[in-house]
């Protein structure tokens, strides 16, 4: 495993980090109709086995957050590393979105330290900043809070994760002496949110850049559309879609570390292998052109840019927003018309269907992709309802 010095810190981190938002779930989790319960059903034994394997094979950076897996991610990570604290670099995040008073910042951090069973964090980030949450962070003196927790040693270094446009990203970068930032970046999202411009801007300021969603929550590796698979099959490299995607991210010299939310041991082993071989500035012009062609094809086929992050749930009305969007994309990309409509109308509980949306707008405030969720849910139901247009793709 190769290591990089992360920003202005003294930490040398593995180029591949393990993101703990998509840990393995128990075998029967997928059959649970309650999305939030399903998300929290971590297979603890497999998750700890994966974390152990990651450490043994050179991964030292582990990233979690307060809401991941319904609040259970930090606890499982803490159990996995309880006897290996000096071997790992731990990062988690302050859930600015749900903070209601300045005292909540302190209370939640102490809760997180308890769940992780540690006395300090290597990195502590303000989670998912956008224009609204950044304004809230300033109002509740979150920057002063970050100063204090570095002084008392509960966090050695601080940073932020981000979901908004590049103008706001630059404003946040310039507002504080950050050590790291975490941004979404992949070949589909090269110019989305902070994007390439933000990546280069943060690097120019000496801030270490952590990449999340390098494979778009697995969307660039699962159920490959026929049109995309034909492009991959035409190449001579023999790389999987995951390898193409990860190599594209690591091709950027500004990237300090790539976080991958690996859910299986097979994914972990493959990503470790790729991390050990990939290099900055190593892709040929033809390889970059191929990836660009794939990105353009996906943009043509994709109906909704959902990464499955689940920030939008639980929905007050019970709508399973991520599952509805997955079905909608599957319906349009893979032409599985009868199967998709059957699942929506027969397998999905009525309260979880797109038609149950009451248009409260709470989900749109939370969505890091700025999806017009209410409008899109109406389109989902229009296509997938029992008497919907089966050939409308």
Q: How far apart are CA 348 and CA 120, in angstroms?
A: 43
Q: Does residue 387 surpass a pLDDT of 90?
A: no
Q: Does residue 391 surpass a pLDDT of 50?
A: no
Model pTM above 0.85: no
Averaged over 162-187, what is the pLDDT?
96
Which CATH code, of 3.20.20.100, 3.30.70.2190, 3.10.580.10, 3.90.226.10, is assigned to 3-283? 3.20.20.100
Contact between 265 and 230 (Cβ < 8 Å): no
- Residue 173's CB is within 10 A of a number of other CB atoms, namely 19
What token pair was written down for 353?
């269907």
Tens-place pLDDT, residues 290-344: 999 999 999 888 889 898 888 899 999 999 999 899 889 878 876 667 778 887 8
Taking CA atoms, 373 is separated from 126, 129, 312, 319, in Å, by: 25, 19, 9, 11
* pLDDT for the residue 33: 66
Q: Does residue 140 surpass a pLDDT of 80?
A: yes
Domain ranges of the chain: 3-283, 302-393
The pLDDT confidence band at residue 388, using thresholds 50, 70 and 90, is low
**Mean pLDDT for all residues in the chain:** 92
* pLDDT for the residue 29: 74
Q: Residue 279, class by beta-carbon neighbours within 10 Å (0-12 exposed, 13-18 middle, 19+ buried)?
A: exposed
Phi-psi category of residue 194: left, alpha or beta, with phi > 0 → left and psi -120 to 50 → alpha: alpha
The pLDDT confidence band at residue 393, using thresholds 50, 70 and 90, is very low
Tens-place pLDDT, residues 1-31: 999 999 999 999 999 999 999 999 998 776 7
From the DSSP assignment, how many helices (H) and strands (E) are in the chain?
16, 10
Higher local confidence (pLDDT), 370 or 51: 51
Higher local confidence (pLDDT), 34 or 69: 69
Classify 255 as helix, strand or coil.
Answer: coil
Tens-place pLDDT, residues 71-116: 999 999 999 999 999 999 999 999 998 999 999 999 999 999 999 9
Q: How far apart are CA 188 and CA 216, in angstroms?
A: 8
Radius of gyration of the chain (CA): 21
């Amino acid at each position: 495993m190769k290591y990089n010095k992360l920003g202005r810190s003294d930490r040398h981190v593995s180029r591949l980090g393990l993101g703990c938002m998509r840990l393995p779930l128990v075998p029967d989790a997928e059959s649970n109709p309650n999305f939030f319960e399903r998300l929290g059903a971590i297979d603890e034994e497999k998750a700890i086995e994966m974390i152990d394997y990651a450490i043994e094979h050179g991964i030292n950076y582990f990233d979690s957050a307060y809401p991941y897996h319904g609040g259970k991610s930090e606890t499982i990570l803490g159990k996995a590393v309880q006897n290996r604290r000096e071997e790992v670099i731990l990062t988690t995040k302050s859930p600015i979105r749900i903070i209601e008073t300045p005292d909540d910042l302190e209370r939640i951090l102490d809760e997180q330290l308890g769940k992780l069973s540690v006395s300090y964090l290597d990195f502590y980030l303000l989670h998912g900043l956008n224009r609204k949450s950044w304004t809230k962070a300033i109002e509740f003196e979150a920057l002063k809070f970050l100063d204090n927790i570095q002084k008392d040693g509960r966090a050695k270094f601080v940073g932020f994760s981000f979901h908004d446009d590049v103008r706001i990203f630059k404003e946040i970068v310039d507002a504080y002496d950050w050590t790291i930032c975490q941004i979404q970046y992949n070949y589909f999202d090269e110019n989305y949110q902070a994007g390439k411009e933000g990546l280069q801007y943060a690097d120019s300021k000496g801030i270490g850049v952590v990449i999340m969603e390098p494979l778009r929550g697995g969307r660039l590796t699962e159920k490959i559309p026929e049109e995309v698979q034909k492009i991959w099959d035409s190449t001579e490299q023999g790389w999987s879609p995951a390898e193409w995607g990860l190599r594209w991210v690591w091709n950027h010299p500004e990237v300090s570390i790539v976080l991958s939310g690996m859910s299986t041991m097979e994914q972990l082993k493959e990503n470790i292998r790729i991390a050990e071989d990939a290099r900055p500035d190593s892709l040929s012009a033809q390889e970059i052109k191929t990836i660009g062609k794939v990105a353009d094809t996906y943009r043509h086929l994709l109906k909704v840019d959902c990464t499955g992050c689940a920030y939008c749930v639980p929905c007050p009305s019970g709508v399973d927003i991520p599952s509805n969007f997955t079905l909608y994309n599957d319906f349009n990309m893979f032409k599985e018309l009868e199967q998709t409509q059957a699942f929506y109308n027969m397998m999905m509980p009525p309260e979880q269907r797109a038609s149950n949306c009451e248009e409260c707008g709470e989900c749109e405030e939370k969505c890091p992709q700025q999806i017009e969720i209410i409008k899109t849910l109406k389109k989902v139901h229009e296509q997938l309802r029992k008497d919907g247009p089966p050939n409308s793709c």
